[in-house]
Amino acid sequence: MKYLLLIVFGLSLQLGVAQDKPIKNLDSILNTMPKSEGLLTTYFDGDKLYLEFSKEALEKDLLMVTRLKQLPSNYSAYRNAGSKTSEQLIHLVKVGKSIDLIQVSTTNVADEDDPIQLSVAQNNLNPILVTFPIKSEEGENIVIEASSFFNSDSPSFNIIPDGLKKDYKIGKADDKRSRINSAKSFPQNTEITHTLTFPTDNPPRGNSTNTFTFQVNHSIIALPEDLMQVRYEDPRVGWFGLRKYNYSSDALKSDEVRLIRRWRLEPKNKKAYARGKLTEPVKPIVYYLDPATPEKWRPYFIKGIEDWNSAFEKAGFKNAIQAKIAPTAEENPDFSPEDVRFSTVRYVASTTRNAVGPSVSDPRTGEIIESDIIWYHNHLKSYRNRYLLETGAANPKARTLDTPEEEIGEMMRRVISHEIGHALGLPHNMKASSAYPVDSLRSGSFTQENGIATTIMDYARYNYIAQPGDENIRFVRQLGPYDDYAIEWGYRYFPNSSAEEDQKILKSFVDERSTDPMYMFGGRGNDPDAQTEDIGDNSVQASTYGLSNLRIVAENLEQWTTTSGQSYEDLEELYGEMLGVYRRYIYHVASVVGGVHETLLTKGQPGEPYQVVNKAEQEKALEFLNENVWTPQYWLIENALVSKFSKSGKLKSVISLNKRMLNRLMDADRLNLMWDTNSSLIGNGLSPQELLDRLAGDLVYGRTTPDQVERELQKYFAHQLKELMSDDGLALELKGKSLALQNELKSYVKTKKESENETLNAHYAYILNVLEEENKGSK
């Protein structure tokens, strides 16, 4: 006899019956409600939600994933539709007359036959998220009511981070403005969507309602009973992973291990695979395109997905990843994008300028179960604009806002490839864009064969280095050798071997390659070779080329964006983004100052993991900044351009940008880090004292008749010296240097403030006043 359990999600009173009493005639109630059968069979009529499942589901491993489906505008730059807020392994446990929903930890582990397993269990008691009282045990059914579980902000949902709750002064969810929206069930998952509304006393600009409303989706997913063999992380190869602590380790401690997240790929013909023959997988990775995807873009999406087949071939698989058009209701009435058995690429009509590649994985093994790539329609604008700004000088096809279809299609293809890479398990690899020599990126033959970075997983979107006259240039990114290497490492199949044996084989594979720049992995940190949005192995040279191109774009921006009879709205938008491009180029160079090269190594490999950037390189970076930042860049604010859309001008914007750059270089934490790394790491770097002296020379001593922009920077430099003296975190030795520099600057200013120019007299008097006030304050 099969036993069934029913969970009721709804109001605190059901049909006028108190919450702690049985519900009579439950069958007749359920028969009147829309039903959806599956993992948890749902009965939902808009007021009440009942879930029915087999008793066999008790204490089974289930995964509950919570995501934002819709969210308020201007809420957070780091959360958007599709963002995951929680992912937890859960059990339904019967305790007397109740069902407990338990969150199960998978972080602390031990071998089943190891006696320490008992201690692990005793010292890692799983929390009870909610208890559902049993209301009826009549016949074969058990009825459970869960009051307001999906109409409240359960801590387990993690809808709003504590920091944002504090910043926006968000109150508790308002149950009168919160509701369950829908419930659907499929063979391996159940989907529940609900709306939560919160009052807020400090909403973001533009929110006059003092209200945040979110639509939230919960996926309850059956996890595989046949566990996939794990693969241990090697930090020298970038991979999304899971952290665990193994208490059965031979090490004299709980041994931290990390498992990578990957799809389960096994060859159909294992004998042929073992002989080195390309073999199809038992279960390929299949993505279905959203029917809402415009037909003209579908071929590019398909190519972007299936581009990864070349990388999977390095791992021994053919046709490992496939793209298909989603079937119509007539072709397959059982198909749904919400069904966990189907991975999708969804095309969302939204003003959001983004694309994301989330996936769901088994927290026990790292097996990726499904993923849904999301493309937001307005992301087309992002790529159209940047294509013009970053390549227009050397690329005639980019000199328009009506980007040719094949050009924008190629960009979309590469964005989808990037997001698919995330869904395959690969994180960003910002180190990869520094592998290719800068001048090679001006070569048509090189860029056509190798692209502009060694991986699609870097933020190396466009070739901004190629100059006017360079021929046959590839301007858009593509997959590269690092992608082949990473996929082979993560997906190579080893029959009849343990995870530990696989780990030894793969270590040798990485040992042979990881010090080659073509295969290096690295995050951002303080390494100037691991920056976002940059390309080439020399930031100063690359940004010099980039700014040369950007000047040409600025001269032609109106012509390329605005036709006769059109408003200047697009011109204004592109101008704002052009300032952002300028900012990126100069910040790439600023990161060289005080930078530390990081190379991920294990003992026995040649080289040093951390080396200070050479002093000569840092001085070249400062020369670049002196020429392209401290020296006023009036080409950015040409009257003929800015007067088309601004009544106030943009001088203040450029000065503000330059001040932020100066603040970045004179930041106490950066100066402390330079002081520390020069004392502790290998290399001959620039000292913080030398940096401050150089800035004083470039900003003040070298500009005897400063104009209005230069005067603003000189005053800001004096203020920053003052701030350094009052910063308790600055090393005392550096405070001494700052005080000495202030005294030198004060002496210099005294000699300058008696000039015949009244403007300069007032300017130097102001600086002297700032410095003398600082000296008074330091006594």
Q: pLDDT band at residue 566, thresholds of 50, 70 and 90?
A: very high
Asked whether residue 754 is domain-assigned, the answer is: yes
The pLDDT, as a whole number, for residue 9 is: 45
Q: pLDDT band at residue 246, thresholds of 50, 70 and 90?
A: low
Asked whether residue 147 is domain-assigned, the answer is: yes
Burial per residue of 255-292, b for 16 or more beta-carbon CB atoms within 10 angstroms, e otherwise: eebbbbbbbbbebeeeeebeeeebbbbeebbebbbbee
pLDDT tens figures, 459-493 = 999 999 999 999 999 999 999 999 999 999 999 99
Across-strand partners of 220? 64, 190
Q: Are 548 and 557 spatial neighbours (Cβ–Cβ below 8 Å)? A: no
Quick check: 290 pLDDT over 90? Answer: no
pLDDT tens figures, 691-742 = 999 999 999 999 989 999 999 999 999 999 999 988 888 888 888 888 999 9
One-character DSSP codes across 717-728: HHHHHHHHHH-T
Domain extent for 744? 650-779
pLDDT tens figures, 404-447 = 999 999 999 999 999 999 999 999 999 999 999 999 999 999 99
Q: Which are the contacts of 35, defined by CB distance < 8 A and separation ≥ 6? A: 41, 42, 43
Asked whether residue 635 is domain-assigned, the answer is: no
Number of Cβ within a 10 Å radius of residue 559: 11
492 HSE (CA, 13 A, CB side): 17
Classify the phi-psi angles of 366: left when phi > 0, otherwise alpha if psi is within -120 to 50, otherwise beta: left
Quick check: 402 pLDDT over 70? Answer: yes
Q: Tokens 């749904």 label which residue?
A: 336
Q: Are 367 and 356 spatial neighbours (Cβ–Cβ below 8 Å)? A: no
Q: What's the rounded mean pLDDT across residues 584-593? A: 97
Q: pLDDT band at residue 160, thresholds of 50, 70 and 90?
A: confident
The pLDDT, as a whole number, for residue 733 is: 86
Phi, psi torsion values for 370, nearest 5 degrees: -165, 165
β pairing state of 141-147 and 4-10 = parallel
Q: Which two tokens stand for residue 282?
A: 């038992």
Q: What's the rounded mean pLDDT across residues 114-139? A: 64
Q: What's the rounded mean pLDDT across residues 244-251? A: 56
Q: Which of the listed residues 222, 253, 283 is the one where a domain comes to its end?
A: 222
Asked whether residue 449 is domain-assigned, the answer is: no
Quick check: 248 pLDDT over 60? Answer: no
Asked whether residue 407 is domain-assigned, the answer is: no
Q: Are 48 and 11 spatial neighbours (Cβ–Cβ below 8 Å)? A: yes
Asked whether residue 181 is domain-assigned, the answer is: yes
Q: Which two tokens stand for residue 240?
A: 């999304």
Q: Which of the listed residues 201, 222, 243 is the one where a domain comes to its end?
A: 222
Measured distance CA(629)–CA(656) in Å, rounded: 11
Asked whether residue 68 is domain-assigned, the answer is: yes
The pLDDT, as a whole number, for residue 20 is: 52
Number of Cβ within a 10 Å radius of residue 518: 15
Q: Which of the listed residues 183, 202, 222 is the one where a domain comes to its end?
A: 222
Average pLDDT, the chain: 88
The pLDDT, as a whole number, for residue 334 is: 85
pLDDT tens figures, 81-114 = 778 888 899 998 888 888 888 998 877 544 445 4
Measured distance CA(8)–CA(176) in Å, rounded: 19
pLDDT tens figures, 746-773 = 999 988 877 778 899 999 999 999 998 8
The number of folded domains in the chain is 2
Q: What's the rounded mean pLDDT across residues 156-175? A: 87
The pLDDT, as a whole number, for residue 82 is: 74
The pLDDT, as a whole number, for residue 41 is: 84
User: For the chain, how many residues are written?
Assistant: 779
Q: What's the rounded mean pLDDT across residues 519-545? A: 93
Asked whether residue 768 is domain-assigned, the answer is: yes
Measured distance CA(110)–CA(121) in Å, rounded: 9
The pLDDT, as a whole number, for residue 133 is: 76
Q: Are 479 and 313 spatial neighbours (Cβ–Cβ below 8 Å)? A: no
What are the Cα distances from residue 427, in Å, to 235, 261, 320, 455? 12, 11, 20, 11
